């Protein structure tokens, strides 16, 4: 049975789930954004499309179905956000670390894993990762790429510290204790401005590290 359900609407457009005979898909519509943010919405859509294309065939990553300037369609991943599933054993975190290494080998860094809704526990218990709008793609292993990959891992370890701190290894504890210079700069200067704009002016609440958006088992 065909039909759509709106999941999210903000300055950068709409996200909906579409139900069809071939199975549900997720549709990101940049044309529904405000006119003054549309260029940003289209830019973010292109970033997500490129990342998903580079990760084609990777289990736990949505498949890119199609896209154009204003619309991106990707597969639906059935599962629960990390903050809902709350995995209580170490296997999910091990598998999630392997999935992240697979992303990095493919030349993709996610760059938004502080948000728990972007990490899923899929129906079979395996990890999934969604929302690649801020992802970066590279064919080289530049210093910036390595820093971004390090921060991806560090954010995953933050979630492991939340749910199973007893399973953290000494090496993982050292990583958590040593954010990159870029992360220190973000936390000390950029993030306070970001939080003021998004929460005070726009009323958003993405709750990095303790998510309250249950939009996507997407």
Report the CATH fold assignment for 3-201: Transferase(Phosphotransferase); domain 1 (1.10.510)
The pLDDT of 155-178, averaged and rounded, is: 96
- pLDDT digit string (tens) for 34-89? 999 999 999 999 999 999 999 999 999 999 999 999 999 999 999 999 999 999 88
- pLDDT digit string (tens) for 94-149? 999 999 999 999 999 999 999 999 999 999 999 999 999 999 999 888 999 999 99
The pLDDT value recorded for residue 1 is: 45
Q: How far apart are CA 188 and CA 171, in angstroms?
A: 25
The pLDDT value recorded for residue 140 is: 86
**Cβ contact 1:16 at 8 Å:** no
Query: What is the dihedral angle through the alpha carbons of 148, 152, 158, 162, rounded to the nearest 10 degrees?
Result: 160
The pLDDT value recorded for residue 97 is: 98
The pLDDT value recorded for residue 197 is: 53
Domain boundaries, the chain: 3-201
The pLDDT value recorded for residue 139 is: 87
Query: Could you tell me the two tokens for 20?
Result: 């069809």
Q: How far apart are CA 37 and CA 142, in angstroms?
A: 30
Label residue 11 by pLDDT band (50, 70, 90): confident
On the question of pLDDT at 213 being above 50, the answer is: no
Whole-structure pTM value: 0.86
On the question of pLDDT at 154 being above 70, the answer is: yes
On the question of pLDDT at 181 being above 90, the answer is: no
The pLDDT value recorded for residue 207 is: 41
């Amino acid at each position: 049975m065909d039909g759509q359900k709106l999941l999210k609407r903000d300055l950068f457009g709409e996200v909906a789930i579409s139900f069809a005979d071939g199975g549900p898909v997720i549709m990101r519509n940049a044309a529904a954004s405000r006119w003054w943010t549309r260029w940003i919405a289209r830019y973010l859509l292109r970033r997500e499309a490129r990342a998903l294309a580079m990760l084609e065939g990777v289990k736990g990553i949505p498949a890119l179905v199609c896209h154009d300037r204003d619309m991106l369609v990707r597969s639906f991943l059935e599962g629960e956000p990390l903050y809902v599933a709350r995995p209580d054993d170490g296997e999910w975190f091990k598998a999630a670390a392997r999935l992240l290494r697979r992303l990095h080998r493919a030349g993709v860094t996610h760059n938004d894993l502080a948000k728990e809704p972007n990490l899923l526990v899929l129906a079979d218990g395996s990890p999934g990762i969604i929302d690649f709008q801020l992802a970066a793609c590279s064919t080289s292993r530049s210093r910036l790429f390595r820093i971004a990959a390090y921060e991806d891992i560090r954010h995953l370890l933050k979630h492991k510290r939340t749910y199973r701190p007893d399973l953290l290894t000494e090496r993982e504890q050292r990583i958590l204790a040593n954010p990159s210079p870029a992360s220190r700069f973000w936390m000390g200067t950029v993030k306070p401005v970001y939080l003021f704009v998004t929460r005070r002016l726009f009323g958003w609440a993405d709750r990095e590290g303790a998510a309250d958006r249950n939009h996507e088992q997407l």
